Amino acid sequence: MEEGVSVSVQKAFASMMGEGLVDMDEDDNGDEEWRDIGEEDGADDEVNGGAEITPGDVFALEMELNRENKKMMKERRPRSKLPRALRGLMGEANIRYARGEKDDAILMCMEIIRQAPLAYEPFSTLAMIYEDQGDMEKALQFGLIAAHLNPSDCEEWVKLADMSLEQDNIKQAIICYTKAIKYDQSNVRYLWERSSLYEQVGEHKQAMDGYRRILSLLPPTDGEHFMQLSRDMAKSYYESNELPSAIGVMEEALMRHPELVTHECVNMAAELYVANHQYSKALEVINTCLYKYVEGDTFHGPILEVGVPDDIPVDIRVKLMVCLIHQHVFKPLDPMLTSLMEQSPEELGDLYLDVAEAFMDEGEYTSALPLLSALVCSERYNLAVVWLRHAECLKALGHAEVAARSYTKVVEMAPLHLEARLALATLQQQLGQPDRALEALEPMHDPDTLAQDSAAAQQELKLLLHRSTLLRSQGRTEDYIDTLLTMLSMLLKVAMVRAQVCLIASTSSGCKHVCLIKVSRSKLSEIEDQEHCLCVMICISVVGKTSVLSREDWWKLLLCCLTALCEEQRFGEAELLVDSSLEFYSFYDDRTKREELEYLGLSAAFLDRNFRKAYDYIRLMLMGSVERAQLWNVFNQVTLHSQDVRHHRFCLRLMLKNPESHALCILNGHTSLVSGTFKHALGTPSQHRDNCFLPLFQFHLGVIYGFYQVVLELLPVFSVQTSRTQIYNVPLYIDINAQATALLLPESSVHSEHAAPIHPSPPHYWGRCC
């Protein structure tokens, strides 16, 4: 039947025209046949007697046509947005295209697009024209525009998806299939193709969602496809570590089509349950889907006996053994275990390992050892993972020496296996072989690998951490410091560059050790990609926040390293390490850690007799805490040993901000006395009237008055050429032991052995003053 025209209308036309009727077969295939009306309706002709058409027949025809038109108008058909005035031009463009006049057709389509940009017909025609010309890119672009303007055409979307795949544009093809599925949601082929494309681009979740929709659309009669797709989905979920989803798919398959369950389905379901530690359900699947060969109440009582038919595959037998082991059913296992041991480990080595690991999980190391021993003696399964299980089993049984040999074999076969190295080092230490223990903890990766692979850096940190603990327990302080500096250099790599500090290997003491040195920027090793180094630092910091070392652990490690350096009298390196740590933002942004680092830097600089650096530290501390007597005592010690006069201006500026400070009063008074400005020297202590009666203040006032009186008496003695400034700049000393003062002129030959400068005042005086 032609679209929109019913059989009754065609008969009316045929009776009116007296011609043959085009009749279409109404089967599902839509095949057309031309038949003669006279042959088909011969009985009607006899009834009507070949009479002519009456007005009633014409009226009936008109009524039928009216009903057909209304029916067609009610149907949901894509509404064209092409104006009536342009439809003739559109038809002319199609005719030109059919005649091969493609350039004229293109110009006509462009004119139509200019006047009616929302009509899809010119874009569709242009897509066909460019496709004929071989310009697939333009054909795809115009086709996409036409499809978006007429989105309900599913076949057009599928065609565009195929064109996108020809141009290796998988994402565009996925979009096209998504549009087609939107208007034909039950089309399994569209869903299948889109899910396959999702898998190609790595969108696992979207692919699995599409396959789930396919499962829901498959009819009950298509059970084979349902089971096959379910197995494929379960395997994909399992590879993606989505065990609950994989189990859900298999459970649905076993429930909907139990008559199609095969050994493969049972083995896969049991494996999924075992991987998810659901051993009771695995037993239930094996027992329910195949044969009732487990006697007794499997889930609510003890298992009495196990009998396995001969036609059951060995994979399912082993799954059954694993489930029974985890259910602590060991007695019925003896004949099954004996049957398994009779098989060659070269062929069934993976099954040997499954059973051995099940025994080890339940603490049955004695039963697991024969299986593992058979595997390590084979050629095919003489692998590092098997040796590792063998070593763990021996270690659990207390055979330390044999376990150490097995761990050594693991390290030889897999040098990057961290857990094996740590376990071997622990065993060697227990066996009284510390040197071999340290050999097991040698570095695994080179510096380039550590700079590029954060996982390798994480492993190296774990190794170095255990090595440092072992060295500390053995009392090997130098090697312990080397290990700590290596770990900290991984964290402070960029900070050390900013602080101009470098970690080098040195053999000055006869042995090779690492040390920190200060270098100029011109001699620093060039870092080609500073941003890459920052990324490495961030990766190491992220690693430090995981199970390896937290931020607080790094801080404790830094303090341990500074303590060890000071114990070994390596104060200069401790000072450099503090400088580098202050350049590390994670420590500097923490005020508590920053202040503690400054105190540590002050101590290291003072002990290293780097008084200029120590003055920089104590100066910053005093600016924040001017009333702390301890800081002033340290300040006096630093200025006393440095013999520097930079502190004079600092004290004057600080006193302007803190005029009530007693310590600043005394220090500035000393400075004025030595410079000869007695007025200022007298005025500074007298400003603190409340403390004028303190012994220390009275002592200083007496010294100033006495010195001033002596200078006035000696003025006539000097020659006329001697300037007044030279007289006032006569040095003054105090004999601390004799607790007396004396004026020592440059010409005098009397010098006290215990004389010390009056500035700064001795620290024990500051303790009483402040």
Q: What share of the chain is helix, strand, coil (3-state, %, to 5)?
A: 70, 5, 25
Average pLDDT over residues 197-205: 89
Backbone dihedral region for residue 676 (phi beyond 0: left; psi -120 to 50: alpha; all else: beta):
left
Q: So what's the pLDDT on residue 504?
A: 85
Helices (H), 415-453: 418-430, 434-440, 447-452
- Which tens digit of pLDDT belongs to each residue from 382-403? 899 999 999 999 999 999 999 9
Q: Coil, helix or strand for 397?
A: coil
More confident residue, 17 or 231: 231
Is the same domain home to 645 and 730? yes
Nearest Cα residue to 420 out of 406, 434, 439, 431: 406
Q: How many alpha carbons lie under 13 Å from residue 122 in its C-beta half-sphere?
A: 26
195 in any annotated domain: no
Domain holding 70, by residue range, is: 7-74
**From CA 96, how far away is CA 147, in angstroms rounded?**
23
What does the H/E/C string look like for 181-192? HHHCCCCHHHHH
Q: So what's the pLDDT on residue 446?
A: 80
Cα 8 to chain centroid distance, Å, stands at 72
**From CA 186, how far away is CA 355, in angstroms rounded?**
46
Is the same domain home to 515 and 583? yes
Q: So what's the pLDDT on residue 86?
A: 85
35: confidence class by pLDDT, cuts 50, 70, 90: very low
Nearest Cα residue to 352 out of 327, 326, 317: 317
118 in any annotated domain: no
Q: So what's the pLDDT on residue 373?
A: 92
Tokens of 576: 């450099």
Is the same domain home to 507 and 604? yes
Whether the predicted pLDDT of 476 surpasses 50: yes
Last residue of a domain, one of 382, 399, 433: 382
Whether the predicted pLDDT of 30 surpasses 50: no
Is the same domain home to 377 and 390? no
Whether the predicted pLDDT of 665 surpasses 90: no
**From CA 651, how far away is CA 663, in angstroms rounded?**
9
How many domains is the chain partitioned into structurally?
6
Is the same domain home to 483 and 563? yes
632 in any annotated domain: no
Whether the predicted pLDDT of 535 surpasses 80: no
**From CA 388, how far away is CA 406, in angstroms rounded?**
7
Q: So what's the pLDDT on residue 626?
A: 83
Is the same domain home to 462 and 403? no
The model's pTM = 0.63
Last residue of a domain, one of 74, 90, 119: 74
Q: So what's the pLDDT on residue 145?
A: 92
Mean pLDDT comparison of 45-49, 293-297, 516-520, 667-671, highest-scoring range: 516-520
Is the same domain home to 374 and 387? no
- Under a CB-based contact definition with an 8 Å cutoff, are residues 554 and 581 in contact? no
Is the same domain home to 499 and 519? yes
Q: So what's the pLDDT on residue 754?
A: 35
Whether the predicted pLDDT of 488 surpasses 60: yes
**From CA 434, how far away is CA 440, in angstroms rounded?**
10
Whether the bond between 760 and the residue before it is cis, its omega within 30 degrees of 0, is yes
- Which tens digit of pLDDT belongs to each residue from 715-738? 555 444 444 444 444 443 333 222
User: CB neighbours of 372 closer than 8 A, spacing ≥ 6?
Assistant: 352, 353, 356, 386, 389, 390, 393
Average pLDDT over residues 267-277: 91
Q: So what's the pLDDT on residue 403?
A: 93
365: confidence class by pLDDT, cuts 50, 70, 90: very high
2: confidence class by pLDDT, cuts 50, 70, 90: very low
User: CB neighbours of 80 closer than 8 A, spacing ≥ 6?
Assistant: 119, 120, 121
Whether the predicted pLDDT of 105 surpasses 60: yes
Helices (H), 75-119: 84-99, 102-115
Average pLDDT over residues 324-328: 88
Tokens of 582: 């202050």
Average pLDDT over residues 311-324: 87
601-507-471 Cα angle (round to 5): 65
Q: So what's the pLDDT on residue 685?
A: 53
Nearest Cα residue to 387 out of 414, 401, 407: 407
Is the same domain home to 468 and 404? no
Q: So what's the pLDDT on residue 561?
A: 92
299 in any annotated domain: no
**From CA 78, how far away is CA 430, in angstroms rounded?**
84
Nearest Cα residue to 753 out of 733, 768, 727, 731: 733
**From CA 61, how far away is CA 68, in angstroms rounded?**
11
Which residue's structure tokens are 């420590």? 587
The continuous run of DSSP H or E covering 501 comes out as strand 501-506
User: CB neighbours of 155 closer than 8 A, spacing ≥ 6?
Assistant: none
- Under a CB-based contact definition with an 8 Å cutoff, are residues 302 and 282 in contact? no
Nearest Cα residue to 193 out of 169, 217, 205, 176: 176
Number of neighbours of residue 738 by Cβ within 10 angstroms = 11
Question: Which has the minimum average pLDDT: 137-151, 338-352, 530-544, 683-697?
Answer: 530-544
Last residue of a domain, one of 74, 91, 109: 74
Q: So what's the pLDDT on residue 427?
A: 92
Question: Which has the minimum average pLDDT: 280-284, 287-291, 365-369, 463-467?
Answer: 287-291
258 in any annotated domain: yes
What does the H/E/C string look like for 25-45? CCCCCCCEEEECHHHHCHHHH
Q: Which residues pair with 517 in a beta bridge?
A: 502
Whether the predicted pLDDT of 122 surpasses 80: yes
Please give the share of the chain, as a percent, with pLDDT higher than 90.
Answer: 21
Whether the predicted pLDDT of 52 surpasses 50: yes
Whether the predicted pLDDT of 137 surpasses 70: yes
213 in any annotated domain: no
Q: How many alpha carbons lie under 13 Å from residue 455 in its C-beta half-sphere?
A: 3
Nearest Cα residue to 91 out of 79, 103, 108, 78: 108
Task: Tell me the CATH number at 260.
Answer: 1.25.40
Is the same domain home to 387 and 377? no
Nearest Cα residue to 79 out of 37, 135, 113, 120: 120
Q: So what's the pLDDT on residue 560?
A: 92
Q: Which residues pair with 515 in a beta bridge?
A: 504
**From CA 429, how far away is CA 434, in angstroms rounded?**
5
**From CA 614, how far away is CA 611, in angstroms rounded?**
5
289: confidence class by pLDDT, cuts 50, 70, 90: low
218 in any annotated domain: no
Average pLDDT over residues 198-208: 89
Is the same domain home to 511 and 546? yes
100 in any annotated domain: no
Backbone dihedral region for residue 100 (phi beyond 0: left; psi -120 to 50: alpha; all else: beta):
left
- Under a CB-based contact definition with an 8 Å cutoff, are residues 407 and 427 in contact? yes
Q: Coil, helix or strand for 302?
A: coil
More confident residue, 140 or 455: 140
Nearest Cα residue to 331 out of 321, 343, 317, 341: 321
**From CA 196, how far away is CA 770, in angstroms rounded?**
82
Q: Coil, helix or strand for 676?
A: coil
More confident residue, 129 or 629: 129
Which residue's structure tokens are 């003491």? 509
Is the same domain home to 595 and 699? no
Q: So what's the pLDDT on residue 164?
A: 92
Q: So what's the pLDDT on residue 715?
A: 53
Using alpha carbons, list the distances in angstroms from residue 700 to 659, 676, 728, 743.
19, 14, 17, 15
